[in-house]
Chain A
Amino acid sequence: MGTLKLLQGNEACAEGALYAGCTFFAGYPITPSTEVAEFMARRLPQIGGAFLQMEDEIAAMAAVIGGSLAGAKTLTATSGPGFSLKQENLGFGMLCEVPCVVIDVMRGGPSTGVPTGPSQSDIMQCKWGTHGDHPVICLTPGYVQEIFSETVRAFNLAEKYRTPVIVAFDEIIGHMREKIEIPDKGVIPIENRKRPTVPPAEYMPFDETKGDVPPMADFFSGYRQHITGLNHASDGFPVNASPRIHTDELRLLRKIEANKKDIIRNEEYLLDDAEVAVFAYGVSGRSGKNAVEQARAAGIKAGLFRPLTMWPFPEEQVAALASRVRAIIVPELSLGQIILEVERCTKGRCKVEGIYRVDGDPINPTQILDKIKEVK
């Protein structure tokens, strides 16, 4: 039996990070993510870890990459405009394959937008925010308990696949308090990055012959290495010629794409015989679940698909769903972002209808229920 606690989503996120072995946080205060930093500021010094409030979001992202290169499991947390500022260094983390976890407690935008309201409008920024081609792992929990467990999973995936991982949730579940259970240590297995076993002289930080996820040595561990944001060869040194750049970028993509089974997680609720499906995550997923229950009570065969992994997108699952249902309803707190992905995967096999809201209030179950009845 673990420990029962009444926690805010943001606090559960910080608890998840500590459970996963995070010892390093760097951040910059921004609403509605601040409680993650405040919690880490209290707890990290107690366990001998490092907490840094940096001068800006850019610096915070840089510091977590620096901390990770020195061997620590590192976390940063931000919202909206802060997430935009992190993008360049997030791209550095992706190209240089540096494990770390970035929390984005989403708020409305563009610009300062709605700092104290919920939003789901960063979801495309999670995938396309930085420049260049790259894969992304982005997790989208919907309950306080899930924020805890998905943050643990984010650290595990970051370590296993040697990459930054984003956890994106909205202000409502970030600030909502729910009873959660924090399992005893060891109940959730913890992953650690694969370290090299070769002698230091033979070590190459991006040695593709060691698999799609090459072993990673810590700075100052005797494995001297060069890390650069330039496209690089196996030894870490810059290359500016084909075919190395091409094959290395494909490897980055492959290490995520080939492991989709391990990475993709979702909740499927009452979908077996469903004629109408709701595709929703985060707070909209909660409204979606309630709407589906009300529809079932009214004799309508509705079901819910709630992605916990948004990127890589659950393409095959959505395609299979599209072959079975008459319509998929996509409620989201944006003017339509994730609906584009759903439409792409359904390929016209079923109707896709969106419910959009950007005024700082959640989409309520009645709105979704009305739409279910409309497409019935």
Chain B
Amino acid sequence: MSFDYDQYIRGGKLPHIWCPGCTYGIVFKSLLRAVDSLKIPKDDIALVSGIGCASRLPGYVDWNTLHTTHGRALPFATGLKMAKPDKKVLVVSGDGDATAIGGNHFIHACRRNIDITVIVLNNFIYGMTGGQHSPTTPSGHIATTMPYGNVDPNFNIPDLAKGAGASWVGRGTAYHVPALDKLIIEAMNHKGLSVLEIINACPTTHGRRNKFKNPTDMLLWMKDNSLPITAFDKLPPEKTAGKFPTGVLFKKEAPEYCETYYGLVEKLKKPKEGRA
């Protein structure tokens, strides 16, 4: 039996705003399947976003949803999570939202290791605003604000997350869908801050300016240039040049923020010994 997406989609909110050829719809469906398999009740999950194409995703899904200001999804989500630590909080963000204007919040959420899952939909461009370069736009690529080719160095989002202290870091693509379902499930099952970068395609404002003839070419680029981390690690550097690893890239055990804070609260509640 095919998966019943309707149970999660808000009545009357489709069609979505994403362009033909955009891969966000693929990720959206993957997210719904993943959450369904985790059996999280609709009332116990919140989805928070900032600004941009990815940020419109919460509007379509029948959970508690919050569409905030540009770059600020994580601190809004941190407020929700600290007020209701037993609930599940998810953040969806674009590359510009998460790592440019929201870069400071991103690294500090990683440092805090608060139990939130951050899904960064990296399409290498500011899509909704019309194609300006982001911190992940590839070198040399044309963007409306890099008309002679991008000269800004890039962020590697998983490296950034790991360096900042995230306890679970992964990467998937919109092409490798079954693997993506599993990655979302694993990210959400992790206790602590989990960052999942999902490589996406924006044919409208990125692809067509950069020699991708059609949306399919962009998906094929993902297929041809990614390698599972298990294979990536075994190959010599010359064989992995220009390719990116996918899968669970990093995980560690680390104290979760809400547990640490509310653990302190419990200790303070206990009467002190040795006093009358």
Interfacial residues, chain A to chain B (CB-CB below 8 A): 24, 26, 45-46, 48, 50, 52, 54-56, 58-60, 62-72, 74, 88-89, 92, 219-222, 224-230, 237-238
Interface pair B79/A67, CB less than 8 Å apart: yes
Interface pair A219/B72, CB less than 8 Å apart: no
- Tell me if B108 counts as interface (CB < 8 A to partner A): yes
Chain A residues with Cβ below 8 Å from B78 are 52, 54, 59, 62-63, 66
Interface pair B59/A226, CB less than 8 Å apart: yes
Q: Mind listing 9 A-B residue pairs with CB under 8 Å?
A: A26-B79, A45-B265, A52-B79, A63-B82, A66-B80, A222-B43, A226-B58, A226-B59, A228-B59
- Tell me if B87 counts as interface (CB < 8 A to partner A): yes
Interfacial residues, chain B to chain A (CB-CB below 8 A): 10, 13, 42-44, 46, 48, 58-59, 62-69, 72, 74-84, 87, 104-105, 107-108, 261, 264-265, 268-269
Interface pair B42/A224, CB less than 8 Å apart: yes
**When A and B form their complex, what is the total count of cross-chain residue pairs whose Cβ atoms lie within 8 Å?**
129
Interface pair B69/A92, CB less than 8 Å apart: yes
Minimum C-beta distance from A232 to chain B (A): 9
Q: A55-B105, A58-B75, A62-B76 are in contact. Are A225 and B82 (CB under 8 A)?
A: no
Minimum C-beta distance from B91 to chain A (A): 11
Chain B residues with Cβ below 8 Å from A66 are 48, 66, 75-83
Chain B residues with Cβ below 8 Å from A230 are 67
Minimum C-beta distance from B212 to chain A (A): 30
Contact with A229, one of B65, B68, B107 (Cβ below 8 angstroms)? B68
A63-B76, A68-B79 are known; give 17 further A-B pairs, CB within 8 A. Answer: A48-B269, A52-B78, A58-B105, A59-B75, A60-B75, A62-B78, A63-B78, A63-B82, A66-B48, A66-B66, A66-B83, A70-B87, A219-B87, A224-B64, A226-B67, A228-B59, A229-B69
Interface pair B46/A237, CB less than 8 Å apart: no
Minimum C-beta distance from B49 to chain A (A): 9
Chain B residues with Cβ below 8 Å from A229 are 67-69
Q: A52-B78, A56-B104 are in contact. Are A46 and B83 (CB under 8 A)?
A: no
Chain A residues with Cβ below 8 Å from B68 are 62, 65, 89, 92, 229
A26 to B65, CA, bound (A): 21
Contact with B79, one of A48, A70, A222 (Cβ below 8 angstroms)? A70
Minimum C-beta distance from B61 to chain A (A): 9
Chain A residues with Cβ below 8 Å from B82 are 24, 50, 52, 63, 66-67
Contact with B65, one of A52, A65, A89, A227 (Cβ below 8 angstroms)? A227
